Each structure stands twice: as structure tokens, then as C-alpha cells.
Amino acid sequence: MSKVILKAENVYKSFGLTKAVQNFSLEIAEGEVHGLIGENGSGKSTFSSMVAGVQTMDAGQLFIDGEPYAPKNAIDASERGVSLVVQEIGTIGTISVAANIFINKEKQFRKGGMIDYKTMYAEAKKILKRIGGEHLDPAAICASLNLEDRKLVEIAKAMYSNPRLLIIDETSNALATHGREVLYQNIRAVKESGGSVLFITHDMEELIEVCDSVTIMRDGVYVDTLRGDEMVAKRLKELMVGREIADNYYRPDFEPKYDADTVVFRATDICAPNASHVSFELHKGEILGLGGLADCGMHEVGRILFGLDRKDSGRVELADGTEIKTPVQAIKLGVGYLSKNRDTEAVILNYSIGDNIVMPSLPDLRKGPFMPKRAEREMADDWVDQLEIKCNGSKQYVKELSGGNKQKVVLAKWLAKDSQILIMDCPTRGIDIGVKEIIYQLMMSLKEQGKSIIMISEEMPELIGMSDRILVMKDYKINKEILRSPEVNEQEVVQYMV
Amino acid sequence: MKAKVIGQKIVATLIIPCAVYLLFLILRPQVFGQTSLIWTLFNQSIANIIMAWGLSFEMTAGNMDMSVGAEMILGSLVGCMFAKTLGIPGIILGALLVALIIGVLKSVLSALINMKTMIISIAYTLILGSVGYLVVKGESVIITSDQTTLGKFPYTLIILVVAGIVMYVLDRFSVFGAHCRALGGNENLAVVAGIKKKTVETKAIFICSIYAALSAIIYLSRGAGTAAQTGLSSMSTVFGAMTGVFIAMILVKYINMTVGIVVGVVSMNIITIGLIALNMPSSMKDSVNGGFLLLLMIINDIIQKREADKLYRAASMTRITEEQAVAAE
Amino acid sequence: MADKALNAKKYQKSALISDLLPLGGLIAVVILFGILTKGKIFSSFSLQTIYNQSFLYILGGLGCAFLFAQGAIDLSMGAVIALCSILGAFAANQYGIIACILVCLIVGTICGTITGFIYSHTNIAVFILGLSVCFLIKGTLYQITNGQASISIPYADKKMFTPIWISAVVMVVFALIIYYLFEYHTMGKHSKAIGAGIAAAAQSGVDVTKIKWLGFVISGFTCGMVAFFTMVKTGSGGPATGSNFEFNVMIAMILGGMPSEGGARAKIKSCFIGAILIAFYSNGMVLLGADSRVQEILKGVVFIVVIVGTYRMQMQAEGKKAFQFFGLKLAKKNG
Amino acid sequence: MKKLFSLILALAMVFALAACGSDSGSAPAAAGSAPAASANGEDAAPAASGQSFNIGAVTTGSTDATSKPLYDSMEQAIKALGCNYIESAMEEDSGDGVLNAVNNLLSTGVDGLIVPNVASMYGLIPTIADLCEQNKVYFSLFWTNLDEGTEEYDACMNNPYFISTTCEDDVYSGYWAASVVGKLGVEKICTITLPDGFTTTNMRNEGLEKACKEYNMTVLGSCSDVSLTTSSAGGTTITEDFLAAYPDTEAIVVLGMSQYVLPGIAQALEDANRTDIQVAGIDFNEYQQDYMNSGILDGIIGGHFAGPTYSVILMVNRLQGNPLAESGVILRDSFIELGSAEEADEYATKIYGNCLYTDEQLANCLVSNNPDFTYDDLVAIADAYGLEDILSRTQG
């Protein structure tokens, strides 16, 4: 067996009440590209950030090449040969490409106390050429580059210390085809140089193609490790979800049931950087699924529908033709939006649960000029009980709640507002199974009440299990419309995605 | 490509001061025509330039310290007291002593409080202003004219050039300067990359205090005397230097901070002299500077919006071209 | 379950501390100076002085409560007050006191609207914007008064407004309106939401541009009121009126417990507590015959000690490390 | 939460009631009234001369060469006449600052109050007059000119508690300073003045114009920017700007603030080796004798320190029940003129830092000590005030 590079033993990590990682162990050998897969919120990003020194562990032990390893920040990690590439923007806009690559590592270019920019830029040019980003100018300010080029700079930063362990955390979906090729080429380079790669993704096909072995995580717990040809998509998915795709988990019925002739919401010919001529109609009481790979443009379409992002052309309107331009107007017209990044956009963390819930419905609570606090508290407590949000009352701050309970607060917000149309972006992302089930039942009850839901999701079982109609998106276009029926299975849907 | 960039740099550097100078040259040719005016301008701007250089590190890292004016005046007062016994070395010793003591106190306090430094610096201004008053019991203190050599030609130039070079090196070539810019750009990413925020801030505070001491020496030597400024009145001295840094921050895409600050401060002093030459009440210079700064920021904001728009359009174009490519197959 | 309760209790405790500490501070100062001045501070005249001195800062604090809740500060208040007082004085001399009131309020609101428009439609930092507007207005003040250092208003008109009960009524009415808007109206809730998390607020129905804009309009209106009452008190308006007003209001608000980044814990009462605390402090110090410069040093020191104290106690309550000094941890992590 | 806020509102209402309780002029002895004897009204029996009164003074906070001697001589006079001196400095140089200081002093229970004139103070005089009348406290002003027919004049004159105001003939001081350079045959001058809008500034400018007509001088440029005139570095900047904008200027006349700007001016002239330019100024400073000896400074007028001392004399007499004048008086307070280096040296060595009047000279201004002392004697003392008078009395 070749030498083990990374060894993790019963690692624990929890944020307040959420137990992100529990008793997790893992080994990655030399020259191995090891995948790490799991549903959103299964703890894979938390684990990788701990290995990269971005977060500290509550308990457990890490070893690199056999020696104990406890990084406090990215510098300690890169000294031990561990580097990380994340999904969000990892470069600072106001400084140059070279400065980003060598951030906090500028000492090595110091000659007589002065940074020698010539060698620094030369070195940056070299590493950029090595990773396939030779078209980038080391002196350019990062803000002037497009998203993909900025990601290449991050890859260069990670590859510069020719890492023993390169961690890629869901980066691929921020890259277009060319960028992805560069990434795979670098993974191969690390592999040949005797290093190892921890590749985190939830895109099945990419994982099977790139990784030698894969570990599956579910709700912070180690599930299994598959190697070589054991890695089959269906098997992986079952391990990921942890149960056969139980029938009653989602909707019991198999026919599309919605009021086909009353349209409540219409999007015509929406064009934007990642949406090309998207048009569809939403009917009363319908759950419309919007599926596809992470970067197929569905998330951006969701934001455009709610008026959050601008669009080149096209029109978003209700049945009676009133156009939706801004979120404030949308909310007034009864449209709700659940963002996929929950902590920063869907809910205000440093704010009490009650205030979060009543926020959109404040105008409706008003009796004349006066807005009784009693009414607010009643509405808040009423929805906290209805959704059984585990907390010590509606005065408590949202930041103290678990992921599932936070999502309940977001849902309570729009239920309190009695919004007729809900745009849900990855509604069950990073949520434990128990709450997922409640959310699905809630969606069903909303559907019965005649409300309509646009559900944007990257999880196949959820899309197939819940939607009356699925619009599969690929390369920013609606590729196929699939009606709900018992024969629909994942392979059929996936083929329109890839 | 290289020539164009250098050209852009020169234009960006000189456009503001020359435009202002030309304006007053047209209005008052005999005053602004004489070369000696350049010399007067230079002398008047030194103290503010040096203070602005000291301030630039803290402001690039995202903190605004309003108490540097009071610190500088305290330095000049203590320098004046020491000058009575030790002569010129006394001035230098007094100013530097104040710089060290205040530097240590401020950095210790900044470690204890993680609040916007602007609010805390108002409390510092109050304290330093009154301490200055108690040090000299309110009398205005002077130094004999032979002790003012540091305010005279060769020395002011030497101090300016040395301070300028040190600032240029620290800003462009030092690890500390890179860390300040990183913290100012995106604090979370910088901290994740392992940059210690508190250590960088402490260094910035010390450098700012040292530069405030230098500017105190020149302020004292030029005026051959100084007086305590109690309450918040010392803020007007620091605002002049801050406006210089703001202007430099806007021009930082084209020219480095060191030259940017010189441009900012000198342009403001041209306006002051211009107003006096036009016999207009020189309190107008506040509104000219304020309007000037507001205009610059609004223009800067519009430029940034236009650039964001350009990036957005480019992204749409790539999507459309990719689409056509797929359609063509 | 125990762990969760303990965790929740911690946040409860820190919320309680940030709520009651300032009031405790006020009561402590009142008692301290009561004892030191042997009751002299409670004489009706010194209470009247304390009322007079804190009245303006309470008005100012109420006016910029919304901006503070959003984590912003209006640095142009001083200059706007001066401008209102000058134009108001002209109006008083020509058209009488009623015109003076109207001119002050209108001019203040206009300045607030313009600054608010720029603040809400660009992403210029609020500090720099405030400073440059302050300079822009200050420079023109001497021109408007064509060289006059102060323009006095007719004494008879002024006399009408000096009795205490008028300003007390105005203060109480204004406080009730602001309290209604802050606690019972979307304006207050949305301002606090912006302070707590602007991205999330935008997605739950807060019209960020409008609220930012209105914050400055209300602050401008208050500048008009403060300008009028300063003129009533001192009998004249001029470029020096209201100088450094915004910094004193800021000190009063922070001492009164207003968090510097705004958010959920922003409370209206901080301006009352802070302003009265400072008035008691400065009046008491004079009664003790302390030199006014020593007063200022102590005021600065007390301000810093209170800030470090509240910050440290909150960290203690939330079980985090309080001191991070050159990487070594001074306070051990408790709980 | 609502409970807390109603508590605050109740607190505010209590203040208002307590405050306006005293406002309606009811007996001053409100709850817990100030222990110190609050001023006995007009009708109270004249207190025995032995009883000591508290006299409060509002100070500008700075103790430079213009204010320090003034406050020192006032303090010496109050102590010499057996009263105690209470000082309260105003935090900011604005009407608000003065009013706060006055309120603070009144709350400490003073019997007499002496208040300076300050930038935007003119609207304030009626307010102060009212406050003093309510609290039955005698008050005097200094550096304050009350012209007939203005509101300030009426507010003071028909206020029973108004003792006196002392003011200087600033037209004369402006005229004297300008004529110092006028006598030397200068035609083109630049001026540095107090902030625009003060009555003192206007009077000194009036004097300047009178001198300009007489010696046909023309004013090329002037500067009154407060941010420059309050620091010596500012003085240097202003002088350099003058030299740059008006190279042909022959003199600089400083019509105020010379204690701040003079060192800067001297330094700038020396650097530009333009010591041919004459300089004259108003308001003394600690180092004028050096500049006079080195020939940079040609003349300086100032030293109007005795005004408050005369007011103290009038006030203590009134408090002791034997007022010198029935109603409020306006007293002319004259300057000390230093036209030559010798005079400046004499002033520096003999007068600066020690008292203008000896204790016994002050004591026998009290009717209780010297029964036949009248108001006219006081006016005579005031008019005689000058360099020789002080020298003869104190050194003689």
C-alpha cells in the first residue's frame, strides 16, 4: 500500500447546535484522487475547511505524512503542503493577480527588506503558465478579470506550493468547460508528482471520471468508501441519500395534479449572462421543478424572477400582466423567495426569530396607523408552534438555531405573508432528513391550498419526487420538459442535463 | 502597451494640480506666474503631506483615526518645552517621545476594542487635546528663531524626501504594505489567509505616530511656535491631511499612494493661495475642498458602475457567442 | 438539550447586559455626583441646567436614531444646523418667529434629502460623504452671513420660546413620534434589519434605498429643530452654531448603549440615557470645581472605559475570548 | 420594554416640572436648594462688610498673554476685596459654550458674575440678563460694547442686577496700530483681522480706515480665516501668501490674534529676508519685547486688563450695600501703548506677571473702608490707566 498522506481520526465539529461533523475518519494515499461526496450540508465542506486550516476542530486528530497536523490558518496548512480552492470568490479584488497568489507569502521575494516585484511577477507568470492560465497578466488588478480567470488565479495560488494534498471544494461548478479542463489537468499534475487530491463535489459524473476512490458522508457521519469500479452512480446515490428512494418520502401520487388552465405566473424570453430565452408558465397549485447541473443557470433565473438580478431582456409577470421588477414589489404582489445561501440572504442571523418571521407581513398587520406589538408576537409565536421550530421562544436570535430550524423560519416568513407564489432555491440544502420530510409535507399542503411553487434543485430524487412538471436546464437553456409520471427515473432526466 | 500605461499615469498624476493651477493662473497671472510661488506652495504642504503619508497605512487597512491632529499638536507642544533646555535636539526628542507613548497606548487599546476606530479616535482627540493644554498650562509657546532651522530649506527637503522614500518602500515593497492593502480589500479573505489583523493595525498606528511626530517638528519649526487646541478643534488639521489621502485613494489605480498624496495636498494648497490672491475670504477653501472631494467620489462611483456594467455585458456576449457556436454545429 | 439551553442563556445574558448596563451607568453617575456635591446637583437650578444641556442632544439623538440603527452616522449635522440657524435668523428678523421655524425645518430637510439621495444611490462610504458635505456647507456660511459672525433674533420672539415647558413638550412629542416610528412602524424595524444584515433585509421586503434616504431626511429635519432651539437658547445663529454637535451626539448615543454597527439592539432610549449622563457628568464636575480641561480628559477616559467594559462583558457572556493581543489570549475561554 | 420607556418619559416630565417650578419665580428654595447662601434680594439688609461673597467668572479657557493678566488681576481684585473667586471655562467658543458656563456658575450659587464677550454672543446678553435677574445675581460684562437703542443695551440698563460693562475704544486701537506704520511713511499694507462680524473687528477696521485716510495708505489684502489665524504655523502661511500675492506690500497690521500669529509672521519675514516690512499689532503676547528689540515689530497696543477689576470694585460695593452708581454703567477701559523697545522692555520686566493695583489701592476703593470714595474717583483711576500710571503706582 503506498504511503498515507492524509490521515484523519474521529474528527468532531459542531456550530452551536448543528453537529456538522461527527466521528469522521479518512485516509488518502500518495498519488490518489480521493472524492468526497454527500448531499448539501452533509459536512464535506466543513471537514475540508478544517483540513485546510480555515476552521479549527472541536476534537479528533489529523496527520500529514504520519506527523500530527493542526493548522491555525492557511499559512500553516500550506507549509505542510495542504492547499484549498473554494467555490466562492477566493481572490481580493483590489490587489494584483501576483499579490493574490503570494498573499501572506511575500517574504520569500524580499531582497534587502524590499519585495522584488520583478521576480514576483516572473514567478507568478511561471505558475500561471504551469496551470494553464498563461493569458493572465500578473500585474492586473483582480477586479478587472472575469469570474473564471479569477478562479484560475486561485488554482495557481493553490498549485504554487506544489501541494502534497490539494483540496478542491465544489469549484468545478464555478468554471465553464475551458476552466474545468484546466482544473482536471492540474489534478493529474498533482497526482503524477506523488501528491494527493481531495475532490469534493455533488456532481456524480465528474466524480466517477476524475476520482480513484470516493468516501460518502451523510449528515456529518462517515457512510462508506468505494474504490475503482465499485463507483457506480446509482449505488453512490443510494449511499448518499441513505435509504432506498422510499416512495412515501416524497409525493404519494404519480400524476401531475394542477389547475392547468389558470396561469398564475409567466416568464417570457428571459436573457441574461447565464440565461438564454427562458420562457415558461406556472399554473395554480403546481410544483414546477427547475433542474440541471449546478452551473446550468437555474439559480440565476430564480434570482431574476424575484427581481434580485438584472436581465438583458424578457419579462416576468403575474397572470394579470403586472411586471415584477424589484423584490419589494414582488413581495407585495404575493411572491416569496427562499435563497439558496440561507445564512447570508434568506434570514437575518443577528435578529430575533419573531422579527424575521413578521418582517414581510408588517404592512398587513397595521391597524390604521398603529401596528400593535401584540399582533406581531402572536403571529410569530403562532408560526413557531405551527412549524415546531425548536427554540426558547420567538425572542431568541436566529444565529443560535440549527440549519433545519433556520429553514423553518424562512418558510414561516412566507407562510405568514400568505404568499401565493414561492420560488424555492435548494429548499432542503444542508438540512437533516427529519426536517426535509416536514418541508416536503409542507409543500404538499401549500399545493392543496392552491399556492404554486417553483422549486430549483440540484438533487434528482427531490425533483422527480416532488414536481408536477420538470424543466431540465442545460447551458442556460430549457432543454426538456418532463411531466410527472411513474416511469420517470433519474437516468432519463440526467441525459438531458449533461 | 507600456508607453500608453506610462502616459496614462502621468496624465492622472498631473491633471488635478495643473488644472487648478491653470485656473488661478488665468485669474491672477502676476501672482501665479512667479516661480517663487512654487516654493511657497512646497513649504506650506510639507507638514500635511507627511501627516497624510502616516495616515495612509491605517486608511488603506480600513480604519479612520481622527486623533492624529491632536497627537501632532501634542508632539509640537512637548517638543517646544524640551527646546527651551535642549535646543533643536529637544524638539526632535519631544515629538518622538510623544509618538512612542501615544503609539503604545493606542495599539494596546486597539487590541482591547474591536469597534470602528473612528468613534474611539474622537475620545482620543478629546484626551490628547486637553493633555496638550495641561502640558503648557494653555500658554502659547515659542522657540527662538535659530531653533527653527529644521523648518528651513535644506532640512525640510531632506525630511520630506527621506519620509517619502520610507513611505514609498513601506507602501509598495514591504510585506506590511501588501498586508494593509489585502485587509482593506477584503478583511475576511485576508484573515483566512493568515494575516494577523491586530499586528498589522499596531504597526500602522506606530508608523502613523512617527510620521505625526515628523510633521509636528516641521509644524513647530515653520511657525516658530505652537498653541494647544482643546476639544475637537484639532480635527481641522487632520481633515486637511485626510482629504489628501482620499484623493490619493481614488487615483490609486493610476499612481501610487506616495505621489497621489502629494498631488492631493498640493492641489488644496493651490486653492488656498488662489483664494487669498483673489481676495476672496479664505474660509471658502473648505467648501471648495468639500465640493471637490464630493465631485471626485461621485465620478469615481459612476466609473465603477460603468465598469461593472462592462463586465456584465461581456458575460452576456460570451453566452451569446457560445450559443451561436452550439447552433452552428 | 442542556447544552442548547446553556447556549441560549448565554445570548440572553449578553442581550440583558447591553440593555441594562447604560441605565446602570446613568444611575451610578447620578448617585456618585449626588454624594460628591452633597446634593447640590439636585437643586432645581442645576437640574434645569442639566435639562437645558441634554435637551439638544436628546433631540439630535432621536433624529439620527434611524441612521444609527442602520450602522451609519451623519457627519454633516453640525454644518446643516449652522446653515439652518443663519437662514432662520434672517427669516426671524424679516418675517417673525413662525417663518423662522418653518425656514429652519425646511432648509434642514432639504439638506438631509440631498445628502440622503447621494448616500442611497451610490456606494460612497457614509463617513467620507458626511465629511465632504460638512465642508461644502461650512465654507459657504461666511458668505451667506456676508461676514457677520452671528445674526441675533428679536428678543421678544425668542422670549416666547424660552420657558422650559415648551421645549419639554416638544421633546416629549418628538420622542413619542420617533418611538412610534422606531418600534411600531416599518421604518424602525427596517432600519434595524439593514443594520443587522443588509442582503437578507433586501430579500425580506425592506426597500433599502428608501430607508437609507429617509434616515437622512429625518436627520436633516432634526437639524432644523436643533438649530431653532439653539437659537432660542443663545439668541443668535451663526457659523459657529452647532459646531461638533454630531460628535457629541455620537458620544452620547454610544454611552447610552447604542451598538456602533446598529442592528437589533438599537434602542431609542440610548439617546436619553447618554445625553442625561453626559449632562450630569459635566454639571457635576463644574460643581466640584474641576478644571474644564481635566473634565474633557475624564470624559474621554470614561468613554473608552465604558466601551471596553461593555465589549468585554458581552464577550464574557457569550463565552468568547475577549482579548486578542499579539496572538496571546489574555482572558481564558470560560464555560 | 414599554415599562422602561415610560420610566424615561416620566423622568423627562419630572425634570420639566422641577425646572419650570423654579422658572415661575416662586421662592428659590426648591427642594434641596443650594446650601450656599443664594443671593439676598434687594430688600435684604446690607450684609456686614466682613461677609465674603462668591464671585464667578466665565473664562475663555486660554491663558495666553492677552487673557492671563486679565484673569489674574480680576482674581487678585476679588481676593483683595475679601470674596472667593470661582472660575468656569466655556468648552466651545460659541454662545452655547458661554451659556453652559453661566448656568454652571449660577448652579454653584454665586453672588456676582463676570462674563466676557465672545464670537456669537450678542444675542445672548438678554438671556444672561434674565437668568441673573431670576437668580438675583449681580452681573458685569467685559470686552462688550453696548450701544444705545440695541436690545442688549435695554436688557442690561433696566435690569436691577446689571452692574457694569467695560469696553475699549477699539476704533482708537485700530487707528493707533495702523498709524504706527503710517508714521513710517508706508503706503501699501496687508492686514490680519479677528473673525468677521464681531463688533470689535468692525470698530478696529473703522480705526484702520481712519488711519489709512490720514496717512493715505491702501489695504492690498486681508485674511481672517479662523483655521489659520489661531496658530503660528498659520501666521507663517498667511505671511507667505501675502508676500506671494502682494510682493510690493510694505507693512502687515495685525488687528487681533497677534498672540497666535506674530511668531509665525516674524519667522516668515526672516526666512524671506523681507525684514524691511513693518509690523504693528493689537493684543499683547509674551515675546513682543524680543520682536521689538530685533526691529521686526514696530509697535503694539493691548493690555486692556483692568476692565473686570473695575467691575469687581463696583460689584463688591453694591453687594456690601453701598452702590457707587444707581444703575448700570458703561466704563471706558484704556490700552497700554508700547511704541518703542524700551517701553516694551519696561512692560515685560516690571508689569507683566505682577499686579496692576496693589491690595491697599484696591481696598480703599471700597466705601466700607474709605467712605468718601465715589464713582468719579473710579472713573479717574480708569482714565489714568496706562504704562506710566502703573509704573508710578507700583514701582514708585
C positions 273-332 inside 8 Å of A (CB)? none
Same domain, A188 and A319: no
Which among C220, C211, C214 is positioned nearest to C106, based on CA atoms? C220
CB spacing of B276 vs D221 below 8 angstroms: yes
Burial of A173 (0-12, 13-18, 19+ CB in 10 A): middle
User: Is A159 found in the same domain as A82?
Assistant: yes
Would you say B119 and C260 are in contact if contact means Cβ atoms under 8 Å apart?
yes
For C188-214, how does the pLDDT look when each residue is reduced to its tens digit (9 = 90+)?
Answer: 889 999 998 888 999 988 899 999 999
- Nearest-CA neighbor of A332 among C180, C196, C186? C186
A441 shares a domain with A387: yes
Partner residue opposite D88 with nearest CB, options C240, C286, C296: C286
Which residues of chain D lie closer than 8 angstroms to B148, CB-CB? Answer: 267
The answer to whether D20 contacts C172, with C-beta atoms less than 8 Å apart, is: no
| Interface predicted TM-score (ipTM) over 0.90 | no
Lowest-confidence segment of A236-245, B182-191, D278-287 by average pLDDT: A236-245
Return d(Cα B88, Cα A397) in angstroms, integer: 61
State the smallest CA–CA distance between residue B160 and chain C in angstroms.
27
Cell 426597500 identifies what position?
Answer: C207
- How much is the pLDDT for C113? 95
Cα–Cα dist A130/A156, whole Å = 8
* Cβ-based contacts under 8 A for chains A and C: 85
pLDDT score recorded for residue D21: 44
Angstroms from A422 CA to nearest CA on chain B: 27
Q: What is the mean pLDDT of residues D378-393?
A: 80
Give pLDDT, residue B262. Answer: 92
Confidence band, pLDDT 50/70/90 cuts, at residue D266: confident
**Closest partner residue to B111 among C118, C312, C324, by Cβ?**
C324
Query: Is the same domain home to A229 and A265?
Result: no
Of A110, A272, A477, the CB nearest to B175: A110
Task: Tell me if chain B has a CB within 8 Å of the CB of D26.
Answer: no
Confidence of residue C87 (pLDDT cuts 50, 70, 90): very high
Q: Which span out of B26-35, B97-106, D142-151 was modeled with the highest average pLDDT?
A: B97-106
pLDDT digits (tens, 9 = 90+) for D39-98: 333 433 444 445 778 888 888 766 666 777 788 888 888 888 888 888 877 766 667 778
* The total number of residues written for chain A in this structure: 498
Mean pLDDT of chain C: 82
Residues C139, B290: C-beta atoms closer than 8 Å: yes
pLDDT, residue C6, reads 56
Residues A141 and A30 grouped into a single domain: yes
Mean pLDDT in residue range C35-50: 81
Collect all residues of chain D within an 8 Å Cβ-Cβ radius of residue B220.
233
Residue C152: the pLDDT is 77
Pick from B119, B130, B134: which is nearest to C250 by CB?
A: B119
Q: Which residues of A touch C203 (CB under 8 A)?
A: 306, 308, 327, 337, 339, 345-346
Interface contact flag, C204 A349, Cβ < 8 Å: no
C112 is written with which cell numbers? 438631509
Comparing B146 with C30, the larger pLDDT belongs to C30
Minimum-distance CB partner of A345 among C185, C189, C200: C200
8 Å CB contact of C48 and D31: no
Verify whether the Cβ–Cβ distance B307 to A73 is below 8 Å.
no
Quick one: average pLDDT of C130-148? 82
Decide if B182 and A95 are in contact by the 8 Å CB cutoff: yes
* pLDDT recorded at residue C101: 92
Residue A252 maps to a domain: no
Q: Assess whether pLDDT exceeds 60 at residue C68.
A: yes
- For residue A265, the surrounding DSSP H or E stretch is strand A259-272
Identity of the residue in C138, C326, C327 whose CB atom sits nearest the CB atom of B286 = C138
Among candidates A328, A355, A392 on the partner chain, residue whose Cβ is nearest the Cβ of C8? A392
Q: Is D154 exposed, middle or buried (0-12, 13-18, 19+ CB in 10 A)?
A: middle
| pTM for the model | 0.82
- Across the interface, whether the CB atoms of A373 and C263 are under 8 A apart is answered no
CA terminus-to-terminus distance, chain A: 36
Q: With pLDDT > 90 as the criterion, what percentage of chain B qualifies? A: 19
Q: How confident is the model at residue D26 (pLDDT cuts 50, 70, 90)?
A: very low
Residues C171, C174, C177, C181, CA torsion sign: negative
How many CA atoms are closer than 13 Å to the CA of B47, on its beta-carbon side?
29
Query: Are B185 and A276 inside 8 Å of each other by CB?
Result: no
Chains B and C: how many Cβ contacts under 8 Å?
Answer: 137
Task: Say if residue A293 is in the same domain as residue A176.
Answer: no
Q: Considering the domain boundaries, does residue A318 fall inside one?
A: yes
What distance separates the 2 farthest-apart alpha carbons in chain B? Answer: 90
Residues of B in contact with C138 (CB under 8 A): 283, 286-287, 290
What confidence score (pLDDT) does residue B160 get? 92
Instruction: Give a three-class secondary structure readout of A146-206.
Output: CHHHHHHHHHHHHHHCCCCEEEEECCHHHCCHHHHHHHHHHHHHHHHCCCEEEEECCCHHH
Q: What is the DSSP letter of C305?
A: H
- What pLDDT was estimated at residue B130? 84
Distance CA C40, CA C33 (A): 9
Q: What residues does A115 pair with on adjacent strands?
A: A110
Three-class SS state of C238: coil
Residues A291, A209, single domain; the answer is: no
Distance CA D251, CA D237 (A): 16
**Rounded average pLDDT per 10-residue block, chain A, 498 residues:** 80 75 86 81 79 85 87 83 82 87 84 84 89 85 81 87 84 71 86 87 77 84 84 77 55 77 88 86 90 80 89 88 89 90 86 90 80 84 87 82 84 90 85 78 88 86 85 85 82 74
Touching D (3+ Cβ pairs <8 A), the chains are B, C
Q: C interface mutation test: which of D107, D144, D223, D225 has the most C CBs within 10 A?
A: D107
Span C272-321, pLDDT tens digits: 999 998 888 888 887 777 777 787 788 888 888 887 777 777 777 666 55
pLDDT recorded at residue B55: 93
**Contact residues, D window 183-212, toward B, CB-based 8 Å cutoff:** 196
| Chains touching B (3+ CB pairs < 8 Å) | A, C, D
- Read off the pLDDT of residues D159-199 as tens digits, 9 standing for 90 and up: 888 888 888 888 888 898 888 888 888 888 999 888 766 67
Q: Which residues of B touch D244 (CB under 8 A)?
A: 31, 34, 36-37, 40, 273, 277
Q: Which of B64, B118, B287 sits opposite C140 (nearest CB)?
A: B287
Q: Least CB-CB distance to C301: which of B127, B242, B289?
A: B127
Task: For chain A, list the contacting chains (3+ Cβ pairs, <8 Å).
Answer: B, C
Among A327, A349, A400, the residue with its CB nearest the CB of C203 is: A327
Q: Does D96 touch chain B (CB under 8 A)?
A: no
Distance CA A378, CA A373 (A): 8
pLDDT at C331: 37
Domain of residue A87: give its range. Answer: 4-241
In C10-69, the residues whose Cβ lies within 8 Å of chain B are: none
Q: Which residues contact A484 (CB under 8 A, 6 or more apart)?
A: A254, A255, A256, A467, A468, A469, A470
Class of domain B2-278: mainly alpha
- Residue A96: DSSP 8-state: B
Same domain, A197 and A274: no
How many whole angstroms separate alpha carbon A151 and alpha carbon A295? 15
The pLDDT of residue D396 is 57
Ordered domains of chain D (ranges, CATH): 54-168+304-336+353-395 (3.40.50.2300), 170-302 (3.40.50.2300)
Sequence-ordered list of residues with C-beta below 8 angstroms from that of B289, at least 6 positions apart, any chain: B243, B268, B271, C135, C139
- Determine which of C48, C56, C141, C298 to mutate to test the interface with D (most D C-beta atoms within 10 Å): C48
Q: B2 to chain D, minimum CA–CA distance in Å?
A: 40
Q: Is residue A207 part of a domain?
A: yes
B61-94 pLDDT, tens per residue? 888 888 999 999 999 999 988 888 888 888 899 9
What is the pLDDT, as a whole number, of residue D260? 80
A103 touches chain B (CB under 8 A): yes
pLDDT band at B140 (very low <50, low <70, confident <90, very high): low
At D32 the pLDDT is: 34
What pLDDT shows up at residue C24?
Answer: 84
Going by the DSSP 8-state scheme, the letter that residue A324 receives in this structure is: P
- Of A251-255, A479-483, C172-176, C267-271, where does the model show the most confidence? C172-176
Number of domains in chain A: 2
CA distance A429 to A404: 9
Question: What is the pLDDT at residue C79?
Answer: 92
Q: How far is B225 from chain D (nearest CA, A)?
A: 6
**In this structure, what CATH number is given to the domain that contains residue A352?**
3.40.50.300
Is A104 in CB contact (< 8 Å) with chain B?
yes
Segment D343-362, tens digit of pLDDT: 888 887 777 777 778 888 88
